[in-house]
Amino acid sequence: MNGILPLYKPRGMTSFDCVRKLRKILNTKKIGHSGTLDPNVDGVLPICIGNATKVVDFLMGHSKIYQGSITLGLMTTTEDLDGEVIKRKAMMVPLSNQQINSGLHKMVSDDLIQIPPMYSAVKVNGRKLYEYARAHQNVKRPKRHIQVKSFEQIKPFQYNALKHQQTIYFRVKCSKGTYVRTLAVDFGKQFHIPAVMSDLKRLSSGGFDLSQTYSFEEIQSAVLNHRIEKLLKPIDTILQQYVHDSIDDYQWKRVINGAFLYPDELKAQGSKIVITYRGIVRAIYYYDDKIKKYKPYKMINIR
């Protein structure tokens, strides 16, 4: 069983919980996910099965789209509603739509610096940040370069006059490694207001959107009815941005053994080339400018 299964991840489960459950449903161990989703976030989680686990990095490289809300007037340890409230500030007057739209637009950038939250899986000196946080230990967090391609308000805000809090609703398109929780906090900082991410759903990841996902119930039913293969997307689905080259029998015998390929023996040219044989993606080669040859980058299906 090889392919990509676009899963609809429900809330209340970690990404690894999803992998563990699918291993039982599909009766296979070779499964991996392409980008962690927090337990309180639902949405698109592409799952790689079999040889597709070898192209997880390519899936993760795609931009992601999220929809959610930011609540202004409080801050938590985890930057979402799961954490302990550590700061409050009453908003006697809500931000105007002009202020909101301007603040979101200012965060759109091809090179935005972000510091990941303490309650995250980013590793520092071999330990995950959340391990330091739970031990009440301070540690310098690494700065990350991310991209925010769009950040917009999608419906009218709500103002709670009793709590003196304001909730705004957004959609954001961002690069891998982006913590939307931190975007929420940084948005509030522009106005000197504590902020928290109060809701989040992933609409798109790895080139798949919500309409293409399957629930655990649908996957279980497909297994029982012997049609699970129809739910799997081909590995080549996520490699379409690269040029492809179909090789002959002689070249295939060399590729199996990891041989280098000369540019003049390939019909296609590019920094990376998807090698196919008999209509199946077999490997990804990259061009090494020093030796002027194509070398194996990822061996996907060589049997």
Give residue 185's pLDDT: 96
pLDDT tens, residue by residue, 239-284: 888 999 999 999 999 999 999 999 998 888 889 999 999 988 999 9
For the cut 90, the answer to whether the pLDDT of residue 168 exceeds it is yes
* Confidence (pLDDT) at 233: 93
Specify whether domain 242-299 bears CATH 1.10.10.
Answer: no
| Consecutive H or E run containing 221 | helix 216-224
The pLDDT score that the predictor gives to residue 291 is: 93
Give, in words, the CATH class of 64-201: alpha beta
Q: In the block, which residue shows the tokens 């799997």?
A: 232
Instruction: Give tens-digit pLDDT for 17-57.
Output: 999 999 999 999 889 887 788 899 999 999 999 989 888 88
- Per residue in 175-216, pLDDT tens? 988 999 999 999 999 999 999 999 999 999 988 999 999 999
Residue 173 pLDDT level (bands cut at 50, 70, 90): very high
d(CA 217, CA 215): 5
| pLDDT of res. 241 | 85
Strand pairing partners for 110? Answer: none
pLDDT at 61 over 80: no
Instruction: State whether CATH 3.30.2350.10 applies to domain 3-62+207-235.
Output: yes
Q: At what angle do helices 15-26 and 216-224 cross, to 10 degrees?
A: 10
Rg (CA), the chain: 23
How far is the C-alpha of 47 from the C-alpha of 60, rounded, in Å? Answer: 11
Helices assigned H by DSSP within 138-191: 180-189
In whole angstroms, what is the distance from residue 251 CA to residue 142 CA? 45
> What is the b/e burial string over 49-84, where b = at least 16 CB atoms within 10 angstroms of the residue's CB?
bbbbbbbbebbbebbbbbbbbbbbbbbbebbbeebe
pLDDT of residue 122: 81
Mean pLDDT for the chain?
Answer: 92
Does 303 score more than 80 pLDDT? no
Q: Rounded to 5, what percent of the chain is helix, strand, coil?
A: 25, 40, 35
Q: What is the pLDDT of residue 55?
A: 87
Identity (one letter) of the amino acid at 10? Answer: P
Number of H helices, E strands in the chain: 7, 17
The bridge status of strand 127-128 relative to strand 123-124 is: antiparallel
Tokens of 291: 């030796």
Report in angstroms the alpha-carbon separations of 93 from 90, 106, 158, 159, 189. 9, 22, 12, 9, 16
Half-sphere exposure (CA, 13 Å, Cβ side) for 78? 15
**pLDDT-based confidence at residue 131 (cuts at 50, 70, 90):** confident
* 3-62+207-235 and 64-201 in the same fold: yes
Q: What are the catalytic residues? A: 38
Domain boundaries, the chain: 3-62+207-235, 64-201, 242-299
Confidence (pLDDT) at 19? 93
Angle CA(168)–CA(191)–CA(142) in degrees, nearest 5?
90
Is residue 182 within 8 A of residue 117, CB to CB? The reply is yes
Output the pLDDT for position 66: 97
As a whole number of angstroms, the distance between CA 236 and CA 227 comes to 20
